[in-house]
Structure formats: structure tokens, C-alpha cells
Amino acid sequence: MSAPKKLYIKTYGCQMNVYDSERMVEALGGQGYVETQSPDDADMILLNTCHIREKAAEKVYSELGRYKGLKADNPDLKIGVAGCVAQAEGAEIMRRQPLVDLVVGPQSYHRLPAMEQTVRSGAKALDTDFPEDDKFDTLTTRSKAKRGPTAFLTVQEGCDKFCAFCVVPYTRGAEVSRPADRVLREARELVDAGVAEITLLGQNVNAYHGHDGGLAGLIRDLAGIDGLERIRFTTSHPNDMDDALIAAHGDCEKLMPYLHLPVQSGSDRILKAMNRKHTAESYLRLIERIRAARPDILLSGDFIVGFPGETEADFDDTMALIEAVEYGQAYSFKYSTRPGTPAAEKPQLPEDVVTDRLHRLQALLGTQQQAVQARMVGQEVGVLFEKPGREAGQMIGKSDHLHAVYAAAPAGVLGQVRRVRITRSSPNSLAGELIN
């Protein structure tokens, strides 16, 4: 029996890329590959890329440059680029970096086995189509190997919103939802492999329509799976947060009290320029309804600072919205141009202005996060323990609200949800003591 070939895959960006990388590993498993954690001994290197942030493509070319020596030492080494940069750049990647053997877009990675055979024959392989065949029809089952207690599960891909700053509709395509029966089957396979918490993924996950009851209906069916302890979902658009999904946050015990609901700006003028199709007021009223259904929910958001045309008054509106909501977590970024998007053609703000605004916004968000965490001290929470801590006898897990929690606990708690009393808040985590 020949020795297995080794696959090194480096994942950039969002949780959906993490999920896609897992499926790529499984797809190439049939070609005799096993995953390795180092590129140095790999027979194939795959970069699963993200195109959301500034200079994403240049970072990929820089990473590829580091592998020239490996390719020189091992001419049989195959190097591929997958994901959203692959979709956007296509054949340009091979032109700029000849050491690349294959380029595959995020909707075509089920074709990796055939592409691998092509490159092993000495030819190049390129596939950045939006194929009619569904990749999930090909990748029908998950590996039965033992897994950690948490997993991502893609249920929806693509986006039809066409926000002026975003490349997702161009790199991931139109909104597509996986049929509920296939999602449920994959969820059961994950639970059978040891998973206790599943996070449902989509570029616009609450637009999911693969179930008659939408995302709420899917969540309720998932809640009926024995052994599945927790359900989360991300990322959502405010315009698709319907009554049924709000109600599920209030009465579905397995749906965790955490919601990532990006708003991007608090200025109606900027929201219109972003093509967000909601207002600051409609967002705030939505938050009120969600909190009425689940008073203890922790809210997370996204903010873009320095969008073209943003004035100090617009920025003040964003700060006022943050004050009104009080976020437990948030992600904030300087606006960066994405070629091909409408906002990329507009005059850009001075860098020093954008940097100053970002620092002020992040200071406010940081203060809110610390205040939310400080209020957790003395409370009891459920914690799903995932791994040992750095100190002997210490275990680390995630709370119901997605806080990292450290506690002294026996190794037997790994993979279990246990009750913990929070005793201390640190900048990015909580400490607690095991109750049961």
C-alpha cells in the first residue's frame, strides 16, 4: 500500500471558509490525501482565500511567494488557490504566479478530485464557474472521524443584497439555500461524530428558504436532534430578521442568546449610499423586538468607518446608535475599496480622518464590551468545554453568550455543557467556577 499524500490547507477569512476547507479535505481524501499541519512536508498546498478586506489578493501573492523554495526542492509539489480571491482573479493568479497549478472558486471545489488528477498529469486546472451541479450533491456525507464539540454547517450561500461596498454577490453568486433534509442529515452526521454545538452559516443566513418555515423552521427541526445541545447562526441582514426567527430566540431552548446583526452605519444618509435598504431607526426598533423576545441576548455587530462621503455628523450618528444598542461584541473596520463595487469609484476620505474615527469607535465598543462582561460576574451560565487551558487542571469553553470562559475542571467535562458561576472578567474572557 502506498503512503498517503499530504494536504496542507491554509484558511483565510470567514467561518464559511473554515467549513469549505473541511469539505475540501474530505473531497481530496478520496484521492488518498490526509491533512498535515505544515506546508514543509505537503504534497499539495491549498490556500482557501477571502476577498473581503483590503489588499486581499496581494496577501495571497505574498504567501505564494514563500512557497517557491518548497516547489524548487520538490517539483512534484502541487499548489492551488481556492475561495473568493480565486473566483475574482481567475487565470490572472496563474499568470502572475506560475508556480500555481490549480485555481478553483468557492462553488466548484467539489470538482477538486478531477482537478487534482489533471495537475498530476502535468497540466494546469482552472474552474471559477458558477456550475449548475450543486457541490453539496457531490459532497453528500461527512467524515465519520471523531470531531471536537463545535462545528460550522453551511446552509445558505451567496447574497442578493448588493451592498455598495461588498464583493460577495460577485464572488459567491446569488442566494442559494440547501434543502432542509440535507442540512438535517449533515447535522446528524456531525452529532454522531461528537459535535454538541452547530453554527449555521450563510452570507445572508436569515434569508434561508430551504425549509417551509425559513431559518426558524430549520432551527426548530434541528432542535429535535438528540445530542445536539446548542444552535447558533451567522451572518444576518436586518431586513431578513422575520417574526418567526425573533420568536425562536424566545422559545427555542437550544438556540443560544447571541445574535450577530450587522448595521454598518448609524447614518441614514450613509446607509442609503451603502444600499443597505434599512434605516437606523428601523434597526433600533428591530433590536427592541428581539430583546423583548429574549431579554438576555448578547448583540454583536459590524461597522464600516470612513465610507465615501461620511461626514463627522454621519459618524456621530453611528456613535449614537452604538450608545443606544450597547453591543457585547462588535467588529469594526476602515472602509477599503473592492474593485468592481459601486463604492470603489467614489472619492475616498483622508486616511488620518478615517483612522481617528475608527479609534474613537473602537474605544466606545471596547467600553461596552467590558461593561457587558462585568455584569456577568456572579451569574451562572452554561459553558460548552472545548479544550484544556494553559494551566494544569484548567479547561476552556464558550458560554451561552459566546464568551470564552476559563474554569478549573476535570478533563471529563470536555464536550459537555456544564453550569459555571462567573467569578472574574478579563479583557477578552471570563473566569468561573464549576457548579455541576
| Of 71 and 55, more confident | 71
Backbone angles phi, psi at 161, to 5 degrees: -80, -30
Assign 3-class secondary structure to 160-226. CCCCCCCCHHHHCCCCEECCHHHHHHHHHHHHHCCCCEEEEECCCHHHCCCCCCHHHHHHHHHCCCC
Class of domain 380-434: mainly beta
Beta pairing, strands 197-201 & 150-154: parallel
381, pLDDT greater than 80: yes
φ/ψ region of 173 (left if φ > 0, alpha if ψ in -120 to 50, else beta) reads left
Average pLDDT of span 372-382: 97
The pLDDT assigned to 91 comes to: 87
- CATH number for region 291-375: 3.30.750.200
205, pLDDT greater than 90: yes
Q: Which residues contact 181 (CB under 8 A, 6 or more apart)?
A: none
Highest-scoring range by mean pLDDT, 11-20, 62-71, 287-296, 384-393: 287-296
315, pLDDT greater than 70: yes
322, pLDDT greater than 70: yes
Average pLDDT of span 141-169: 87
**CA gap 217, 219 in Å, rounded:** 5
With cut-offs at 50, 70 and 90, classify the pLDDT of residue 16. confident
Q: Which residues contact 390 (CB under 8 A, 6 or more apart)?
A: none
How far is the CA of 375 from the CAs of 261, 294, 370, 432, in angstroms? 22, 17, 9, 13
How far is the CA of 263 from the CAs of 75, 202, 368, in angstroms? 48, 17, 17
Over residues 356-373, the pLDDT tens digits come to: 999 999 999 999 999 999
Residues in the chain: 436
Q: Which residues contact 418 (CB under 8 A, 6 or more apart)?
A: 382, 383, 385, 409, 434, 435, 436
**CA gap 345, 338 in Å, rounded:** 9
Average pLDDT of span 311-323: 98
The pLDDT assigned to 268 comes to: 98
Average pLDDT of span 38-42: 93
Quick one: CA dihedral 106, 112, 118, 122, positive or negative? positive
Q: What percent of the chain has pLDDT over 70?
A: 95
Please give the DSSP secondary-structure letter assigned to residue 124. -
135, pLDDT greater than 80: no
> Closest Cα partner for 158 from 145, 171, 139, 146?
171
1, pLDDT greater than 70: no
402, pLDDT greater than 90: yes
The pLDDT assigned to 52 comes to: 67
Inter-residue contact 15 to 201 (CB < 8 Å): yes
The pLDDT assigned to 201 comes to: 96
Over residues 230-266, the pLDDT tens digits come to: 999 999 999 999 999 999 999 999 999 999 999 999 9
The pLDDT assigned to 9 comes to: 95
Instruction: Give the CA radius of gyration of the chain.
Output: 22
Domain ranges of the chain: 5-127, 291-375, 380-434
User: Residue for cell digits 468557492?
Assistant: 106
Q: 10 Å Cβ neighbour count for 96?
A: 13
417, pLDDT greater than 90: yes
| CATH 3.40.50.300 correct for 5-127 | no
Q: Which residues contact 279 (CB under 8 A, 6 or more apart)?
A: 268, 271
**CA gap 392, 373 in Å, rounded:** 25
Q: Which residues contact 98 (CB under 8 A, 6 or more apart)?
A: none
With cut-offs at 50, 70 and 90, classify the pLDDT of residue 137. low
Over residues 138-151, the pLDDT tens digits come to: 665 666 667 899 99
The pLDDT assigned to 2 comes to: 67
Query: What type of residue is 36?
Result: T
132, pLDDT greater than 70: no
Average pLDDT of span 339-345: 87
